[in-house]
Each structure stands twice: as structure tokens, then as C-alpha cells.
Amino acid sequence: MKKKIYIVGPIVAILIIMAATRPSSEEYHAYLKTVHGLNCESKSNGCMHTNLDLMTERILTLPFFMTASTWIFGEQNNEIRVLGIFNHFFVLENKLKPK
């Protein structure tokens, strides 16, 4: 019985921490703007694509993590995919090209 508590207890604690620290879609948009220069008001300050560019995204938010993909129209394979977990974003695929 004690072995189960030693195994299940840490797993439950990690899942609770994962749920509490899952990034939101607003944090994802801020990440795109600050790190990758997307969705800015103007092209200054290292911005690659502005609000005027046509972009689409898919955000999947689950209880313990989130995944997000953003595509920019007009250019083939111009996309980024990330995994959000523990208040951080990990890039799964980055094919963004400067405009």
C-alpha cells in the first residue's frame, strides 16, 4: 500500500503543477510577438509580420498542456508549431521566413 502512495503521489503532484502552469492563448500571442516578431503593429523593432498579414492559427488547450500552430498565408511552409507546458513554449517546428 505504501509503494502505491510513493508512486501515485508524485505523479498526481506533477499533473496538478502541469494544470496550474499551462500557458494561455494570450501568453502564446505574446510569445509570438516578443520571440518571433509576429503580429506586431508595425515592422519596426524586429517585427517579421504585422497585423495586416493574413495569419491563421490552431490552438489546442488540454488540461495539462497546450499545442499551437500559426500559419502565414501567401508563402508555402511558413508556419510555427509549439508545445506549451510549465509556463514555457517549446518549438516543435519552426519554418518561419522573414518577410
pLDDT over threshold 90, residue 44: no
How does pLDDT run across 16-43, given as a tens digit for each residue? 999 999 999 889 988 888 887 776 655 5
How does pLDDT run across 58-87, given as a tens digit for each residue? 899 999 999 999 887 766 678 889 999 999
pLDDT for 74: 63
Residue 78 contacts residue 66 (beta carbons within 8 Å): no
CA 31 – CA 10 distance, rounded (Å): 30
CA 96 – CA 46 distance, rounded (Å): 14
Banded pLDDT at 51 (limits 50, 70, 90): low
Q: What is the dihedral of CA 47, 73, 90, 26, to 10 degrees?
A: 70
